[in-house]
Amino acid sequence: MTLANLIPASVVAMAALLTIPGSVAAQAPAAGAPPGPAMTLTTTAWPDGDPIPVKYTQAGEQVSPELTWTNTPPGTVSFLLHMHDPDVARNKTTDTQVHWLVWNIPGTATGLPEGVPKGEKLADGSMQTSASGPVYRGPGAPATGPRHHYTFEIYALDTRLDIGHGVDAFETRANVMKAVQGHILGKAVYAGLFRRPQ
């Protein structure tokens, strides 16, 4: 018995495939540029995942915090900011509470200042809404029960959204989220905890 008789036919076939020019097995992965650094979202108002100071909540001045993002992906045309409370099951559905939705933030922006003013359309052309109207809605979890997890999400998009205000913030958010599908270049998340003081 020769050595060739001891090698399974499948191994011989695979070896033959590897020697065929242009075969799938012989092709090396396409060389591409390494991915850039991931987007980041930060605020100096509190450390990520820590309690949110009362100033930024319904128990205080309810001003929006300063937000900064970095590592914008190439090709970004606009940003979408989505702040919500995932601990709320609105109307017994998977809907979370809309605390702030800002879309069509210019792709050249690197953040939002503290205390964004009220209004459907901001000076830079971006649009905003929340369950309280066209304004930032601060955290407002009740004093009883666990702290809620308020989540800020920033999306880099390869387009501007042709979306106006719906009948309420929830319809508007549904329309915006549907429109961004297939246009998201990057995303970053930042969170904070809150419940009203006793």
State the DSSP string of 117-186: PPSSB-TTS-EEEBTTBSS-------SSSPPEEEEEEEEEESS-------SSHHHHHHHHHHHHTT-EEE
CB 81 within 8 A of CB 101: yes
Q: Determine the distance from the C-alpha atom of residue 58 to the mean position of all C-alpha atoms in its chain, rounded to a whole number.
A: 24
User: What's the DSSP call for residue 10?
Assistant: H
What tokens were used for 130? 């929340």
Mean pLDDT across 186-196: 97
Mean pLDDT across 139-155: 95
Q: What is the pLDDT of residues 71-124, one digit of tens each?
A: 999 999 999 999 999 998 777 767 899 999 999 999 999 999 999 999 999 999
Q: 70 in the Ramachandran plot: left (φ > 0), alpha (ψ -120 to 50) or beta? A: beta
Give pLDDT, residue 24: 36
Rounded Cα distance, 118 and 134, in Å: 6
Q: What is the pLDDT of residues 29-61, one digit of tens each?
A: 345 667 779 999 999 999 999 999 999 999 999
Question: Exposed/middle/buried for 22, CB within 10 Å: 0-12, 13-18, 19+?
Answer: exposed
**Cβ atoms within 10 Å, residue 111:** 16
- Residue-range domains of the chain with CATH: 36-194 (3.90.280.10)
Within 13 Å, how many C-alpha atoms sit on residue 24's CB side?
1
